[in-house]
Amino acid sequence: ELNPTFLFMWKGTRVEDEPNYHCHEHLELCYIQSGTGKHRIGDTIYEVKEGDLLVINEGVYHQSLAGEHKTPVAEFYVGLTDLNLAGLGRNHFPLPGNCPVFRTEGELQRKLSKLCMAMEAEQELCRIGRYYMMKTYAMQMLLLLLPLHTAQTAPFFLLPFYPYGLLPQNLLLLLRLLP
pLDDT at 1: 65
83: pLDDT strictly greater than 90: yes
How buried is 176 (Cβ within 10 angstroms: 0-12 exposed, 13-18 middle, 19+ buried)? exposed
Q: What is the DSSP string of 18-53?
A: -S--B--SSEEEEEEEESEEEEEETTEEEEEETTEE
**Beta carbons of 144 and 173 less than 8 angstroms apart:** no
**Cα-atom radius of gyration of the chain, to the nearest Å?**
16
Handedness of CA 119, 121, 126, 132 (dihedral sign): negative
Other residues' Cβ atoms within 10 Å of the Cβ of residue 38 = 17
Q: Name the phi and psi angles at 125, rounded to 5.
A: -75, -30
pTM: 0.81
pLDDT at 159: 40
Alpha helices by DSSP H, listed for the chain, are 106-125, 130-145, 168-177
> Which carries the bigger pLDDT value, residue 156 or residue 151?
156
Average pLDDT, the chain: 83
pLDDT at 156: 43
152: pLDDT strictly greater than 60: no
> Which carries the bigger pLDDT value, residue 55 or residue 69?
55
Among the residue ranges 1-5, 23-27, 88-92, 102-106, the one predicted with the least confidence is 1-5
Per-residue pLDDT reduced to its tens digit, 68-80: 766 789 999 999 9
